Copies of this chain bind each other. A is one copy, B any other.
Amino acid sequence: MKKTVAEIAAFVGGEVQGNPGLELQSLANLKNAGPADLAFADEKFYAEVPASRAGCILLERNPFPDRTVIVVRAPKLAMARAATLFVEPDTSGPAIHPTAVIEPGAVIGRGTRVGAGCYIGRGVRIGNDTQLYPRVVVYAGAEIGNRVTVHAGAVIGADGFGFVWDGERYVKFPQLGGVIIEDDVEIGANTCIDRGSLGATIIRRGAKLDNLVQIGHNVEVGEHAVIAAQTGVAGSSIIGARSLIGGQVGIADHVTVDAGSILGAQAGVPSGKHIRGGGLLWGTPARPIKELLAQQAALARLPRFLKELRKKTPSSSENEKGS
């Protein structure tokens, strides 16, 4: 779809400087963009603007008087919004692919697309305008809301991981609970969200989960929480609304992460802990970034410090040997 610069500016709430009648066809990054592409630049990339061949650039302010630009308060957000002008959702082919398996009692809303090879179990309920990419598996009884996106290979509603030792073997603890995916959630490729054991696992409205994420039984992921790839959340933990959880983070069972918390990549939160919001935590066990960096800096000095000390105080050195 072609759009003029003026149309784009009106849509994103920005101001044209340059040629409002220029027609654009697509989006690209500064570096690869051509004369029919829209691009955007944050302030720190302004040095790359002169060399860009982009037809029009979204900017917060305009130091480039000879370019066609749209001045807008949040250029990256405007770029995200403008994308919807150019990219039509692919609605070719049937809404429910003929190779998808829909078990009896499953209900699928209008405008929802179910990709090739998906499996929708008995009694599953899926809302409207949701998209399941190929090979998604939804176990019996799961509930998925409206405008949800689930990428290929994701598994929703498999049994949680719970066993009780009887002295000779493990007896499986019942995994009969539900799994509820609310509206506007996005779930990455090959991500797994287990059903609750007796209660339900809940992914609240607007949460975004990347690829290969593991969500255990009875977990609650809050509204608009963001969880990056390969992170795992164990049973019964609560991830607060609008939290930002980095990649490969491990959150043990029965943890509470307050709303608005930030956990850096590979952080680890031990069982039962309460993470209070308002600041970046990192490391295992997760602690305020400032503490962790001070500890890492001190640790980096420690080998030389101990060596110097040993030179000065031979008795201390002997104590060490005796340990």
Contacts and interface: CB of A to CB of B under 8 A. Distances in A.
Interface stretch (A3-11, A16-24, A62-70, A161-169): A161-169
Contacts of A252: 246-247, 265
A291 interface: yes
A171 interface: yes
Interface string A24-40: 00111101100000000
Number of copies: 3
Interface in A112-160: 115-117, 119, 122, 133-135, 137, 139-140, 149, 151-153, 155, 158-159
Contact of A295 (B135, B161, B299): B299
Interface string A251-282: 01000000000000110101000000000000
A303 B308 contact: no
A304 B320 contact: yes
Contacts of A117: 101, 117, 119, 135
Q: What range describes how many residues of A lie at the interface? A: 35 or more
A232 B234 contact: no
A95 interface: no
A222 interface: no
A70 to B, nearest CB: 16
Contacts of A1: none
A83 B232 CA distance: 27
A164 B76 contact: yes
Interface in A185-236: 186, 188-190, 192, 194, 197-199, 206, 208, 210-212, 214, 216, 224, 226, 228-230, 232, 234
Q: Which of A184, A230, A297 has the most CB of B within 10 A?
A: A230
A69 to B, nearest CB: 18
B170 A208 contact: yes
Contact of A133 (B158, B234, B295): B158
A106 interface: no
Given A198-B32, A214-B211, A320-B305, A161 B188 contact: yes
Nearest to A313: B312
Interface in A283-311: 283-285, 291, 294-306, 308
B137 A81 contact: no
Contact of A226 (B149, B170, B248): B170
A152 B137 contact: yes
24 contacts: A27-B198, A31-B199, A32-B198, A77-B165, A97-B101, A99-B99, A117-B135, A133-B137, A151-B159, A169-B184, A170-B224, A170-B226, A172-B186, A190-B190, A194-B211, A229-B232, A230-B230, A250-B266, A265-B268, A283-B284, A295-B303, A301-B323, A304-B323, A308-B319
